[in-house]
Structure 1
Amino acid sequence: MKKISFAEFGGPEVLRLVDAEEPHAGLGQVRIAVRAAGVNPADWRIREGQAIGGSPAALPAGLGLDAAGVVDEVGAGVEGIEAGDAVFGEGISTYAEFAVLTAWARMPEGLSFEEAAGYPSVVETGLRVIREVGVRPGQTLLVSGASGGVGSAVSQIARERGITVIGTAGAANQDYLRDLGVLATTYGEGWVERVRRLGRVDAALDLAGSGVVRELVELTGDPRKVVSIADLGAPDLGVRFSGAAGSVPDALAEAVDLISRGKLRIPVEKAYPLADAVAAHVDIQAGHTRGRRVLLV
């Protein structure tokens, strides 16, 4: 099969489309014929050799966490799913023609493989950071980097729970955030005062790692009311860095419910052929994403 791999740490150019042995489903796993794989910011950090929740990846390494596809192999101990079922979920080295999933759910009706591949990790992350930051219905949550995949998920989930959302993003994404019901403003010089004019901030999330943690603490008045998923230096300011995933099956179940009720929709900004993974990484590392980027297999 074909897969994306890298044999050295570095920029997007280290990614290669290679021939590899097909993986097989182990205990409690399924294998899918991948139709689409989500591209996450964590992927380029792994490619650069950053230690995400542990040690750098062992080389050579594959990439990819999110995927959607068709089950073609069911591991021991798995019930309620069979070959031919369309699923989305999280797995191992999903930038490939075949991948093993460790958590999955049946795809909601009306969702394409391309769209479905964009949901798993961002919904899990969104649910986790809303829980960790402790924001409650009736309060206001500030989301720095609100237009990306996690920001899109956080904004909609929070709004569904009765939480007011203030979101920062680039000028081109202001209307997109407003369509999600977010009180939107731009980042850049003067952004703290612009946020203050929109209302009191009870809790804040740093989703972009753009060096704003200190200002988020200032706006909330308490580092315990700020959570970052992107700034490894956040703990130096007393802010929690959230990196360990919660229950992915629970997150997928909630995603299916929200999508089915029309309460959650994360657009795909751009889809790339698997062979164009280098271009996908160049684009996602540049930021300014609206929704998700995916690889098509």
Structure 2
Amino acid sequence: LLPFQKKPTLGFGTEVRSLDRNGGYVSFQERLTGNLGIGIGVINRGDFNVPAYDGDENSIGTARPQAFGSYVGVGLRTSRQNAFGVTLQWYTSNLDVGGGVGNVNFVGGVNLGWYRRFADSLSVGVVIRNLGFNERLSADFSQTVLGDDNGIGGFEGSNEDFFPKTVVVAGEWRKTLFHFPWIFAAEIMDYQLKSSLFTPNPAFHTQAMRVGVECGIAEGTQLRLGSDRGDLSFGFGYAFPWHRRRPVQFDYALLLERGWTTFNPYAVGLKILF
């Protein structure tokens, strides 16, 4: 969607969930030319107040493991309806136990995307995520384990793993119903749980689905309802003019997890159009 940007956009977001989980993001998007756009961003996920123990199950305090994913991408519009994009991504994570236990550093993942507008009200997109630079196109990484001077024993080593290749197919339909503008969206994901180039074996694939709907109830005000693998979300968005009538979009969401029994009321986002 980068080449369809009309104005430079700066985005912020943060969330605090139950079970001592946190997250956030910072992003910037801009259309460089009539058919070319660029985007950069950093995404954070983590936990806090996690009890930590050594190899003898003695407490060594609490840890705050954090993971960061960064990306830079470009999008090229090839016609009024078609656009293609590519993103380079890298990850880093730290279990915060000391000595580098469980640290992950991964550079070189690639995402490929295609976007198509079939009509003013219908659009679809396909994204392939977590492609690596090897003959299997597998996003492999090493998880470092160092046991020196951290109370869990004097050893070191590494564990090889990979990020699963992911295919995302999404669609969006816009329609005016009952005198209000509506947006209906759906997203289906397939994860390949094997590092080979491709396997048709269904035992190495798992799927997930997201759906959502948005209704513009007033000028600059939207109500939203969504489901992510059965977890519900309720939210709203409000756009208001800023300095020199630059719009600022504020978004809020209430997230319900674990069979709708876990409430997460602290998820907010802010988007500024320049």
> If the TM-score is normalised by the length of the shorter chain, which range does it land in?
under 0.3
Looking at secondary structure, tell me which structure has more helix per residue. 1
| TM-score, L = length of structure 2 | 0.23
| TM-score, L = length of structure 1 | 0.21
Looking at secondary structure, tell me which structure has more strand per residue. 2
